[in-house]
Structure 1
Amino acid sequence: MLDAEAPVKKSRGDFIAEQLEEAVINGTIPAGSRLDETSIAAQFGVSRTPVREALHILCGRGFAEREPYKGVVVTQISAQRIDEMFEAMAELEATCGRLASHRMTMGERAELESMHREMNALADQGDHAAYNELNTRFHNLIFQGSHNSDLIAVAQTLRLKLAPFRKYQLKDNGRRLKRSCSEHQQIVDAILNQDPKAAENALRRHLLSAAQEVLIKRQREEEDAVAKPNRVEEA
């Protein structure tokens, strides 16, 4: 049986996809932009093969789509769409948490608590990358704790789709890391206390809080992008 927690080495295609996804989310690459294989390959100093892999990933996650005579084009990701995805994830994770609160083994509970302590230390250090990686494992452990294979599969699929947004809302924001840890504490306490309702509510609040952070951060960056030309003109 494969270890669900084993770290997987990222391919060049995965790395390029992550960079492009972040640029789409923060508006650096606006909706409607054509993603040209040749220019992207030159930008990252790679052949077109990993670029094709990256574009395939973007299309699969809804960040771009293939249009006749145009190629791969960035899609419009509205605030409503982001809200809907996080809402769906919140309901899935809430269900996993409710089941995990009374289905997790003693070993799984101990691992969850240990992981939470490690994440607190990473938040104190401001290590966003390591925190994000462990955050994925933390939530995946809750999925696994539901001991329902179909629910786990659906939750993991949607989490993969939301991964760029969840990483985005944690990056370069020490305040958000601290808040995330505080929200995790409520989740861990509820699961360790075997309180299904509290676990369900804590996870739902946590995901909705993350959605709000993504939307606020995007709005700020859009406002900054609009304000920058004005500042240059004034100077």
Structure 2
Amino acid sequence: MGADGRRLACRRRPCQYHRRTLTDSAKRDTLLKRSDSRTCADLIRLELARRIVGGLIPPGTSLDEGGLAAEFGVSRTPVREALRQLASSGLVRQRAHCKALVTKPDDEELHGMFAVMGHLEALCARLCAATMTPAERRALEALHLRMEAMVQAGDTAGYTSANEEFHGAIYHGTRNAYLAELTFATRLRVQPFRRAQFSTLGRLAASHGEHTAIVNAILRGASDAAEKAMAAHIGHVENAWHRFEDRAQAGAAQKALQEP
């Protein structure tokens, strides 16, 4: 669904501006004060989160309430609430009297986030090796084989999407809902930086090779090996991000030198 479709989706939910004649702000604000306005805030939050996590809104980008309100066809009230929710999740940072910014952690913060991510995912892999059902193990193996075909075809977009499914299956396989929730929330924070890894040369095949070690360990019920393989995998993801960032900075510097 495109941006126009998402705007209409927001409007079709209780905030139906296109079906009403709201010519003054008082009527519009009255509508948004109802509980229905929270529905619009949730829709806006989900869409902005999708863009941030997908890299469509880069870290450090400012988010203008007025511009977003105009885009979604709402007043600033649900936009402000959506930004507040995004700030509470860590995807956005807010300061008094300043525009909200998409979170851009410094190197130390990002390393800390990857470290936590590595421990959580390693624990998930360890538990999966012991708790995944035979059907879940077969499904994980089948997904891994499909991803191999994507690597061979150079299908980065398909692999990126399947990668989400792969890690999600491991979270679910822990049989620990709290751990799965915590790991997913942490992954969401790191996601804009994880996705960039596939822009580096050879990373698609390398990632799949790392997955192979994880899958093989889980299939044979080797908890220690699964934990070790996943920890190494997340470490490689962080290294790939730094290579991507170094390349981007070098490209920007080269471009600046070429400008008159």
TM-score class, shorter-chain normalisation, is 0.7 to 0.9
Of 232, 235, 243, the residue aligned with 1:205 is: 232
Change in CA separation of 1:92 and 1:206 when aligned onto 2, cut-off 3 Å: same
- What SS is found at the alignment partner of 1:73? strand
Of 73, 76, 90, the residue aligned with 1:47 is: 73
Shift of 1:186: 0.5
Greater RCO, CA 8 A, separation 6+:
1
Check conservation: 2:148, 2:208, Cα contact below 8 A. yes
- What SS is found at the alignment partner of 1:24? coil
Q: Measure the CA separation in 1 of the matches of 2:183 and 2:49.
A: 21
Give aligned pairs, total.
215
- Quote the RMSD (CA, aligned, Å): 2.6
Shift of 1:182: 0.5
Shift of 1:13: 4.8
Shift of 1:197: 1.1
Check conservation: 1:66, 1:72, Cα contact below 8 A. yes
Q: Measure the CA separation in 2 of the matches of 1:126 and 1:149.
A: 34
* Structure 2 unpaired stretches of 5+: 1-42
Which deviations, in whole Å up to 9, do the C-alpha atoms of 1:167-213 show, x marking residues without a partner?
2222x446211111010000001111111111011000000100111
Q: Percent identity?
A: 33
Which deviations, in whole Å up to 9, do the C-alpha atoms of 1:25-71 show, x marking residues without a partner?
4x6x4xxxx422234566xx543568657644642443432211223
The one-letter code matched in structure 2 to 1:218 is E
Query: Could you tell me which residue of structure 1 aligns to residue 174 of structure 2?
Result: 146
Check conservation: 2:129, 2:222, Cα contact below 8 A. yes
Which deviations, in whole Å up to 9, do the C-alpha atoms of 1:126-167 show, x marking residues without a partner?
222322222111111111222122222221221222222222
- What SS is found at the alignment partner of 2:185? helix
The one-letter code matched in structure 1 to 2:181 is A
Q: Measure the CA separation in 2 of the matches of 1:146 and 1:221.
A: 37
After TM superposition, the structure 1 = structure 2 runs for residues 59-98 of structure 1, keeping only pairs within 5 Å, are: 59-98=87-126
Shift of 1:216: 1.7
Change in CA separation of 1:79 and 1:197 when aligned onto 2, cut-off 3 Å: same
* Structure 1 unpaired stretches of 5+: 1-10
Check conservation: 2:45, 2:86, Cα contact below 8 A. no
Q: Measure the CA separation in 2 of the matches of 1:20 and 1:152.
A: 21
Are 1:99 and 2:133 counterparts? no
Of 196, 220, 228, the residue aligned with 1:193 is: 220
Are 1:36 and 2:64 counterparts? yes
Of 232, 235, 243, the residue aligned with 1:216 is: 243
TM-score scaled by structure 1? 0.79
Change in CA separation of 1:14 and 1:128 when aligned onto 2, cut-off 3 Å: farther
After TM superposition, the structure 1 = structure 2 runs for residues 109-188 of structure 1, keeping only pairs within 5 Å, are: 109-170=137-198, 172-173=199-200, 175-188=202-215
Change in CA separation of 1:162 and 1:140 when aligned onto 2, cut-off 3 Å: same
Q: Measure the CA separation in 1 of the matches of 2:141 and 2:115.
A: 26
